[in-house]
Every structure is written in structure tokens, then in C-alpha cells.
């Protein structure tokens, strides 16, 4: 479930109240644009969810990035990493592996729901040491625990869905969300770089990114005032274990624009039954 869809729901109600009677904006990070929200909010919550699940798991992940870089720097290091992590194709650099692990941890935290609880599953694999006691073997254990037994795990060829391509187009053209990684997380620091983001979008689509469009069109920097004056009948629901809640509306704006938060909730939990019903 993309956060973009629920963001659009709240904005649609705001802009077209004569068409939409109301909106349930579930896990909608409408404040995660144009630096309204601290850039490191998303990954700070991912890290907190893992640390609360297991302190040793959190520390192993935090230590693993330097281990990966150190091994990759050796003469035969990339081959050793490819073998250890059972990559589908030989690694040409360490970034593919690190990006894969980054995405796995973020997805596990974002969709950490019963009955599987992906974060607990990953940490059980890491803490269990079933593939060895060294850091990288433990990380591989988490990879296997999350995905199950597969012939290979990293850099497999996949056909992107129309949904993925469509959201990326929106993020590149209009919905530029400046998500970065700060110093206080289990991930290596990686501040959001707007110039790199723009160049990446140009390489994908050849379109210019408009990083200030959202706040200009919807009033993001004064969103509470805009919602008070012009909005109504919007429910902003957030699970506080959802990394996107760092950019969500977490307090009531008016009598008809209300915030509903669940302490242990994950991403889009409040609309999950609706999604399941439409898939039957």
C-alpha cells in the first residue's frame, strides 16, 4: 500500500469537497514534503521498531554495514559477499546488497503486522545464528528468515509493476518526499540530496522535479491553517510504528478533521480490511 494513495485522498477531499463527502487518510504523510518534517523521521522509526524488538538485533544490523564495506574492499571480497548472501547475480559493488537489506528492514518495519510480525522474524534469524556467529552470517540469517528458503536472495531480475512505475513518476514529477538518514539510526548516515534526486528522476523519465509543488498547491507549510479554514470530514489515522507516521497529522485540526493514532499500529492498518475485501 503506497502512502501516496492516502495522501491523495486527503488532498482530493480538500480540493473537491463537492465531489468527495469525506476522506480516510490512512498513514498519509502529508507533512513529509519540502522539509516540513525532519528528513530522518522515517528511518528513525524503522530503527526504533527494530531496537524495541531486540537490542542485539539492532546492534548487529548497525555494525553490519561497515563489515560489508570492509569485505567488499578486499581483492576477492565481492565474490565472497556474493557467495555468503547467495546473490542471484555476482555483485559488482556492495551497493546492491546494502540497498536490498535497507529495503527489507524498512518493509519489515512498515508492515510489521500479525500474525507474522516481520521485524520479529528478521531479528529471530539474526539473533539465532543459524548460519554462523559472525555478523554477516547473522545478517544472512535474517534475510533467510524474512524470505524463506530460496535459490538466491539478492539482485534477482524482477518486472516492475505498473503501480511501482506510476508512483515513481509521481514522486519524480510532483511528490518529491525528502527522506534521508541521520546519525541516530541503525543505518549509515545518508542525508537527502535534492540534486541527486533530480538527476535520478531525469535519468528515469527526463522530467524536471518540482520539490515545492506540493506545498505551493496544497499549502503544506501552513497545512493546519489551510485545513482549519477550508477542510472538513477528513480522518487522519496513523499507526505510530509506521515509519510514515513521522510525517502524518497526529493531532485534531477541528471537530471534523480528526487524528486517530494507534500506538502499535503499522502502515495503512485502518484500511487493510477494505483492501482485503476488494481483493476477494
String of DSSP letters for 36-76: SS-TTHHHHHHHHHHHHH-HHHHHHHHHHHHHHHHHHTSTT
Q: What is the pLDDT of residue 2?
A: 53
Cα–Cα distance between 258 and 26 in angstroms, integer? 12
Cα–Cα distance between 250 and 268 in angstroms, integer? 14
Yes or no: say if 55 and 195 are a contact pair by the CB < 8 Å rule. no
Q: Is the peptide bond before 115 cis (omega within 30 degrees of 0)?
A: yes
Q: Quick one: which of 37, 82, 112 has its CA closest to 263?
A: 112
Give me the tens of pLDDT residue by residue for the chain, a chain 280 residues long: 456 678 999 999 999 999 999 999 999 999 999 999 999 999 999 999 999 999 999 999 999 999 999 999 999 999 999 999 999 999 999 999 999 999 999 999 999 998 999 999 999 999 999 999 999 999 999 999 999 999 999 998 888 888 888 888 999 999 999 999 999 999 999 999 999 999 999 998 998 899 999 999 998 788 889 999 999 999 999 999 999 999 999 999 999 999 999 998 888 765 555 443 333 3
Q: What is the pLDDT of residue 266?
A: 87
Question: What is the reported pTM?
Answer: 0.92
Q: What is the pLDDT of residue 6?
A: 84
Q: What is the pLDDT of residue 249?
A: 95
Q: What number of other Cβ atoms are within 10 A of residue 206's Cβ?
A: 8
Cα–Cα distance between 163 and 260 in angstroms, integer? 28
Cα–Cα distance between 76 and 135 in angstroms, integer? 19
Placement of cell 565481492 in the chain: 78
Q: What is the pLDDT of residue 271?
A: 58
Q: What number of other Cβ atoms are within 10 A of residue 247's Cβ?
A: 26
Amino acid at each position: 500500500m503506497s502512502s501516496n494513495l492516502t495522501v491523495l485522498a486527503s488532498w482530493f477531499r480538500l480540493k473537491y469537497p463537492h465531489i468527495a463527502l469525506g476522506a480516510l487518510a490512512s498513514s498519509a504523510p502529508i507533512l513529509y514534503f519540502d522539509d516540513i518534517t525532519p528528513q530522518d523521521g522515517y528511518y528513525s522509526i524503522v530503527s526504533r521498531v527494530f531496537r524495541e524488538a531486540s537490542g542485539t538485533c539492532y546492534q548487529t544490523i548497525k555494525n553490519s554495514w561497515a563489515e560489508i564495506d570492509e569485505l567488499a574492499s578486499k581483492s576477492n571480497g565481492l565474490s565472497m559477499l556474493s557467495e555468503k548472501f547467495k546473490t542471484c547475480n555476482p555483485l559488482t559493488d556492495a551497493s546492491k546488497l546494502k540497498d536490498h537489506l535497507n529495503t527489507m528492514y524498512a518493509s519489515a518495519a512498515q508492515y510489521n503486522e500479525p500474525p507474522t510480525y516481520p521485524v520479529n522474524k528478521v531479528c529471530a534469524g539474526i539473533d539465532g545464528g543459524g548460519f554462523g556467529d559472525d555478523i554477516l552470517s547473522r545478517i544472512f540469517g535474517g534475510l533467510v528468515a524474512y524470505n524463506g528458503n530460496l535459490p538466491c536472495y539478492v539482485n534477482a531480475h524482477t518486472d516492475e509493476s505498473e503501480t511501482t512505475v506510476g508512483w515513481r513518476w509521481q514522486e519524480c514529477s510532483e511528490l518529491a518526499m525528502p527522506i534521508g538518514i541521520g546519525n541516530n539510526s541503525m543505518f549509515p548516515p545518508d542525508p537527502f540530496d535534492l540534486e541527486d534526486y533530480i538527476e535520478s528522476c531525469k535519468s528515469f523519465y527526463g522530467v524536471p522535479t518540482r520539490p515545492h509543488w506540493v506545498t505551493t498547491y496544497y499549502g503544506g507549510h501552513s497545512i493546519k491553517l489551510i485545513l482549519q479554514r477550508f477542510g472538513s470530514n477528513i480522518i487522519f489515522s496513523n499507526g505510530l510504528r509506521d515509519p510514515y507516521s513521522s510525517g502524518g497529522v497526529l493531532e485534531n485540526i477541528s471537530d471534523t478533521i480528526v487524528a486517530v493514532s494507534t500506538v502499535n499500529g503499522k502502515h495503512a492498518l485502518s484500511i487493510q480490511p477494505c483492501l482485503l475485501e476488494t481483493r476477494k
